[in-house]
């Protein structure tokens, strides 16, 4: 494991190991406080971020390492027309590991091909977001104690939502999971994921636009934001943005132990009055993301 571009770069054994490391970090943080002393993480963020960038930075600082980087394309030489390959080769002279977010699908792959140091995909366009999936997996593991036999509802923008694409890929490798794909017609899961992941692995899935008709079946409800920045047309965004708004009354028929997840940021998808419901897991996901990124950095730097 040199780079993490796609969640499928990690075997299920790798994921098990990262979860064990993350759990040990949670229990014994002092053991890890100096593990990355003298190492530098570069966060190259060509797209806005709060959680992912700060989570990577907090992860590295809690491991005793340091952080350099930029948080918008405009403040990097990309604004002057520099290629991803050249930026990556440059950063190789300064850092030990890179976390890159980019609006173009495949950009972190190009970086990895031009890098001697590990590159982590921190979100590439509407494609993948493997470290959000690591956060999601630790959350599912801690809440459900298993990755199998779950009915997983994914709701909202399944077309552009990269967290959904990576989570489906990850969960497709465990047995007896069922996927319920809840979206407006225009925002359905791309057919390449249905073909390459769901059909290829003979997985059960069901598409609907009606959350209420399926909510009682779900063990996990993964809500997502409509991805405004990927739309060609603002009028379409405005028409679709409030397709799903989860309010307490809509949970009446949901299971008592259904896990409500969201990669955040939320816009209107989950009413704040749900935040105190014991089923709300989205702020736990944020914290779990930091621990999984710590585990990943340790693994990729080979210091564990």
Q: Would you please indicate which residues are annotated as catalytic (active-site) residues?
A: 51-52, 80, 101, 129
SS3 state at 220: strand
The DSSP bridge pattern shows strands 40-45 and 66-70 to be parallel
Residue 162 interacting with ligand NCD (CB under 6 A): yes
Largest CA distance in the chain: 56
| Binding window for ligand NCD (CB under 6 A); candidates: 146-154, 210-218, 259-267, 268-276 | 259-267
Residue 265: cis peptide before it, omega within 30 degrees of 0: yes
Residue 123 interacting with ligand NCD (CB under 6 A): yes
Taking the CA atoms of residue 58, residue 15, residue 47 and residue 184 in that order, the dihedral angle to the nearest 10 degrees is -130
Q: Output the smallest distance, CB 225 to ligand NCD, in A.
A: 4
Q: Output the smallest distance, CB 265 to ligand NCD, in A.
A: 6
**For ligand NCD, which is the closer residue by CB, 35 or 122?**
122
Q: What is the DSSP-derived secondary structure letter of residue 189?
A: P
Residues 213-252 that bind ligand NCD (CB under 6 A): 225
SS3 state at 171: helix
Q: Tokens 């053991």 sit at which residue?
A: 31
Name the phi and psi angles at 181, rounded to 5. Answer: -100, 110
Is residue 243 within 8 A of residue 269, CB to CB? The reply is: no
Residue 51 interacting with ligand NCD (CB under 6 A): yes
Of the residues 155, 173, 263, 294, which one makes contact with ligand NCD according to CB under 6 A: 263
**For ligand NCD, which is the closer residue by CB, 48 or 149?**
48
User: Mask of contacts with ligand NCD, 163-182, x by CB under 6 A?
Assistant: x-------------------
Q: Which residues bind ligand NCD (CB under 6 A)?
A: 51-52, 123, 129, 132, 162-163, 225, 263-265
């Amino acid at each position: 494991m040199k780079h993490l571009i796609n969640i499928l770069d990690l075997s299920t054994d790798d994921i098990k190991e990262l979860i064990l490391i993350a759990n040990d970090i949670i229990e014994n943080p002092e053991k890890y406080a100096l593990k990355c002393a003298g190492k530098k993480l570069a966060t190259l963020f060509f797209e806005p971020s709060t959680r992912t960038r700060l989570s990577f930075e907090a992860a590295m600082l809690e491991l005793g390492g340091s952080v350099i980087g930029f948080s918008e394309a405009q403040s990097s030489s990309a604004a002057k027309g520099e290629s991803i390959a050249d930026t990556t080769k440059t950063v190789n002279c300064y850092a030990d590991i890179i976390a890159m977010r980019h609006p173009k699908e495949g950009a972190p792959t190009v970086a990895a091909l031009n890098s001697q140091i590990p590159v982590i995909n921190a979100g590439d366009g509407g494609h993948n977001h493997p470290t959000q999936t690591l956060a999601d997996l630790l959350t599912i593991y801690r809440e459900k104690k298993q990755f199998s036999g779950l009915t997983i509802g994914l709701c909202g923008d399944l077309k552009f939502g990269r967290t959904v694409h990576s989570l489906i890929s990850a969960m497709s490798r465990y047995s007896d999971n069922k996927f319920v794909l809840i979206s407006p017609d225009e925002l359905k899961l791309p057919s390449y994921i249905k073909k390459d992941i769901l059909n290829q692995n003979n997985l059960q899935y069901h598409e609907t636009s009606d959350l209420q008709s399926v909510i009682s079946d779900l063990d996990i409800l993964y809500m997502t934001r409509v991805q405004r920045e990927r739309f060609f047309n603002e009028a379409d965004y405005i028409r679709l943005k409030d397709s799903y708004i989860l309010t307490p009354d809509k949970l009446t028929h949901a299971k008592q132990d259904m896990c409500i997840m969201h990669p955040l940021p939320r816009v209107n998808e989950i009413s704040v009055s749900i935040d105190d419901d014991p089923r709300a897991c989205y702020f736990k996901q944020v914290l779990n993301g930091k621990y999984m990124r710590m585990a990943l950095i340790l693994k990729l730097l080979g210091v564990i």
